[in-house]
Structure 1
Amino acid sequence: MLLLASQSPRRAELLKQMGLVFQTMPVDLDETILSNEAPLDYVRRLACGKSALGWQKSGQNMPVLGADTVVVINHLVLGKPQDKADAQRMLRLLSDNIHHVYTGVALTTGEGQVYCVVKTQVKFAALSVQQIDDYWHSGEPVDKAGSYAIQGLGGQFVENIQGSYSAVVGLPLFETRQLLNKIGYQP
């Protein structure tokens, strides 16, 4: 059995897609970015922190997977929008631009911790004010890093990606399997 230290339905769905048996155990970790913290370091710290905290809470008898995803444009980390105006600001930044999505994954066991960070480049189409407004009213951007979901309605705005599609959704499948193999986890 594997524990997922997350309440993300997208990560749970991706683990199911991998055929893994798991339980979810959300953890509460301060996700404030540190001053001068690089996006790669930030997402790695959060993934490792969630996994380690989950391990501490779990009774320490099974592997714990933690993950986090951030959207970055021009060195600016875009988290989940605070409100409609914040989502519109983010979507205007992404419009007709290239951005990067960083997803960190960590596994903690009694033997220690292994982790990786996957970086994917995403090119957005030009968005009109009306498209941005309509997208906000769909409800999809509310709890998504960068205010969009590539696996949902937001996918229609993506011209192309270079890297891992599943990492943009929230969990890179290939790299997660590699980490599971590293710790000797056999489902």
Structure 2
Amino acid sequence: MARGRGGNLRVVRFVLASASPARLAVLRAAGIDASVVVSGVDEDAVAANLTDPSPAELVTALAMAKAEKVADTLAGTYDDNHPAVVVGCDSMLSIGGEMVGKPKSAEDAHKRWAAMAGGTGELLTGHAVLRLDTGARATGSRGTTVRFGTPTQHELDAYVGSGEPLAVAGAFTIDGLGGWFVEGVDGDPSSVIGISLPLTRQLLAEVGVSVVDLWSPTS
């Protein structure tokens, strides 16, 4: 919550720059009644404009591009009397040193799981927070190790056939059907789902917003 020039408290609106229902569910379970505005950013174009980025730089740049696009969309909607923060996120999985996003096809998802099964990968999530009333911004990334099980061919065919792995970075979830095939997570589970609560709290604080002041009254 922010203070106006006269010291009056003003409610800060949380805007999620993502179409991910999993990210929204994490926020709602954690007390945030977020608005959703999808950025529509061309991620390949953003990545192509970067010069040899590290994995952390890549996901952070993509998250910032999404947040900036939504901030532009909302220009004039929020002002000093109606402040808002826009939060952008991007996730990729590192397998054997290769960064991968969403599979492009069912065949691609099968190949990903052939490489992941019985091993580990690092799920890297980049976050960007833009405060619209002050222009303050903050970015960061969080890496979490995921230990994968080994699904049978029948299980993998059914999982890929469900369509779920085609819609998520790394071709797996821990909060959906994919959770059956994940042995464990070493690190922040919310980051694997798509939005790290600890990192988001930190970045919000950097732009002058306390997360507890964003909790909805019904939390």
Q: TM-score range by the shorter chain?
A: over 0.9
- Given candidates 98, 102, 109, the residue that maps to 2:124 is 102
Determine if the alignment matches structure 1 residue 135 to structure 2 residue 159. yes
8 Å contact kept, 2:17–2:37: yes
Normalised by the size of structure 2, how large is the TM-score? 0.80
8 Å contact kept, 2:136–2:207: no
Q: CA deviation at 1:36?
A: 3.4
Determine if the alignment matches structure 1 residue 8 to structure 2 residue 20. yes
1:61-76 to 2 correspondences below 5 Å: 61=78, 62-76=84-98
Q: CA deviation at 1:42?
A: 0.9
Q: Which residue of 1 aligns with 2:202?
A: 178
Aligned partner of residue 63 in structure 1, secondary structure = strand
The separation in 2 between residues aligned to 1:50 and 1:89, in whole angstroms, is 29
Q: Which residue of 2 aligns with 1:111?
A: 135
Aligned partner of residue 168 in structure 1, secondary structure = helix
Aligned partner of residue 104 in structure 1, secondary structure = strand
The separation in 2 between residues aligned to 1:173 and 1:17, in whole angstroms, is 11
Moved more, 103-112 or 177-186: 177-186
1:158-169 to 2 correspondences below 5 Å: 158-169=182-193
Compared CA separation, residues 134 and 52, structure 1 to 2 (3 A)? same
Aligned partner of residue 174 in structure 1, secondary structure = helix
Task: Calculate the aligned-residue CA RMSD, in Å.
Answer: 1.6
Q: CA deviation at 1:174?
A: 1.6
Determine if the alignment matches structure 1 residue 29 to structure 2 residue 53. no
The one-letter amino acid of 2:71's match is W
Determine if the alignment matches structure 1 residue 154 to structure 2 residue 178. yes
Normalised by the size of structure 1, how large is the TM-score? 0.93
Identity of aligned residues (%): 30
Q: CA deviation at 1:184?
A: 2.3
Gap runs ≥5 in structure 2: 1-12, 79-83, 215-219
Aligned partner of residue 43 in structure 2, secondary structure = coil
Moved more, 160-169 or 13-22: 13-22
How many correspondences in the alignment? 187
Moved more, 126-135 or 81-90: 126-135
Aligned partner of residue 119 in structure 1, secondary structure = strand
| Larger CA Rg, structure 1 vs 2 | 2
Determine if the alignment matches structure 1 residue 55 to structure 2 residue 71. yes
Q: CA deviation at 1:87?
A: 0.6
Moved more, 173-182 or 6-15: 173-182
The one-letter amino acid of 1:8's match is S
Moved more, 81-90 or 128-137: 128-137
The separation in 2 between residues aligned to 1:131 and 1:77, in whole angstroms, is 25
